[in-house]
A and B are shown apart, each in its own frame.
Chain A
Amino acid sequence: MLNKNQLHAIDHAIETHLIAAGVDHVIYMDMGGNTIAKHDNGKTRLDSTAFAALAAGNFATVDAMAKLVGESEFSLLFHRGEKLSIHFSKVTNDTLLVSMFTREISLGMVRLKVGATIKEISRVLVGVAL
């Protein structure tokens, strides 16, 4: 279980790297579909509970598909929409970072910021069993 300081550090990493860069919604979740942290820019609403359940299913399915084609994993997924796109990135074996963003921010920028966020979260998670 994560303590308050660790959760605070995760919130801080998401806020400073992703939300500040213009990402609309960010969910840090476990692979069971539980939300560990969620943040948004306050402009749009999202049913994050249902979203996390579906995201966990989606990622698990693609993970199983990876194994069928001889890959150990597909560690990131990207779904592009007309207005909104979704970027999924594995943080640890048990956790996932999901970022939703509009056309106002580029995929390259999101990937860069996701990378920095994951680095910071990974530092927080050293020695933590999730």
Chain B
Amino acid sequence: MALINVKTREVQIKIVYYGPGRGGKTTNLEYINHTYRNQIKTEMVSLKTHDDRTLFFDFLPFDVGRIRGFDVTIQLYTVPGQVKYNATRRLVLRGVDGIVFVGDVQKELRKKNIESLNQLYENLETYNLDLFKIPLVMQYNKIDLRKSNIPILSSEVLQRDLNGLLRVPAFEASAVNGGNVIPTLKKIISITLASIQDQLL
């Protein structure tokens, strides 16, 4: 839940990038960190394994300015995507306000996307949160692989698999080149802020 401090007039919002392993969650944050370096006061924190995969989370705080007299900080987190780290994923989701689900468009990862989304639903349930109610944006990442002749899933298939029931905003993206990384971020920020605006008096 967003933390609203009425004394210091500050709001802290937690947005988590969730999805299967090696899907591009960390790459999204790295691109945001690079693009908005001037607005980001601190270094990005990455807790990685020796082979450079996310062990716990990446963390990037991000000031978005003043809204209704409150200074708003967006705290971006990623979760570790590897299957064995579900306990850690659940810990990172604590207090989440908005989620970007980063799916991988590679054909061979179709099942992993669906499994990851199902697990997100279950993990949110442990905090009494409902995937159908929480601010959520879908991102279908790695569309640049189309040029490399690697078999990829069409948007229609991904929408049917992952977004058929949820019907949330969705973006095709290429996080490695920055394609649609910022539109995804802007969309999740705007719908998350809209979800808490009644609390900003």
Contacts and interface: CB of A to CB of B under 8 A. Distances in A.
Interface of A: 1-4, 7-8, 11, 30-36, 47, 49-50, 53-54, 56-57, 60-61, 64
B61 interface: yes
Given A7-B6, A64-B87, A49 B73 contact: yes
A50 B124 CA distance: 24
Interface of B: 1, 3-8, 12, 14, 41-43, 45, 47, 56-57, 59, 61, 73, 75, 77, 87-88, 91-92, 94-96, 199
A8 B57 CA distance: 33
B75 A60 contact: no
Given A33-B14, A50-B43, A50-B59, A2 B6 contact: yes
Contact of A57 (B1, B3, B12, B91): B91
A53 B75 contact: yes
Given A32-B14, A33-B75, A50-B59, A57 B5 contact: no
A31 B7 CA distance: 20
6 contacts: A1-B199, A32-B96, A49-B73, A53-B45, A53-B59, A60-B94
